[in-house]
Amino acid sequence: MAVRVLLAESHRMIRDAFRSLLESGGEFEVVGNAQDGREAVRLWRQLKPDVGLLAIHLNHQTGIAATVEILKESPSERIVLLASAANDALLVPAARSGATGLIAAQATADELLTAMRAVAAGGFYL
């Protein structure tokens, strides 16, 4: 059975690219697609995905704030935060949010898949 993923990214084209990448190998199934942090939290509650990939920079509520809200309700959830840059000033708050993974947008497709696999399997990825 495929790992169920919730994506949260402000830009539709980027969400579509992540979906294509994740679903290309058959090990992941994107069950939800959020364009902002509020929608990510709402969809998380509704869909109960196995793992989330949330951009740090989201409209209405950051990926960090959405992660904190999700983990407050259910601390065992698995979330990878996507930083727009490796030197992003939000990296420390992102690490403190409780996310189980943190990856820079400059990472390769293989690195993203490695991060998602590690987090889905119960591990951590930084």
Tens of pLDDT along 85-104? 666 666 778 778 899 999 98
Residues 1-41 have pLDDT tens digits of: 899 999 999 999 999 999 999 999 899 999 999 999 999 99
Q: pLDDT (tens digit, 9 = 90+) per residue, 31-83?
A: 999 999 999 999 999 999 999 999 998 889 989 999 999 999 998 999 999 98
Which tens digit of pLDDT belongs to each residue from 110-126?
999 999 999 999 999 98
- pLDDT recorded at residue 68: 95
**CB-based contact 2:26 (threshold 8 Å):** yes
**3-state SS record for 53-100:** EEECCCECCCHHHHHHHHHHHCCCCCEEEEECCCCCCCHHHHHHCCCC
Q: What whole-number distance in Å separates Cα of residue 116 and Cα of residue 101?
A: 8
Backbone angles phi, psi at 96, to 5 degrees: -80, -10
Q: Is the entire prediction scored with pTM above 0.85? A: yes
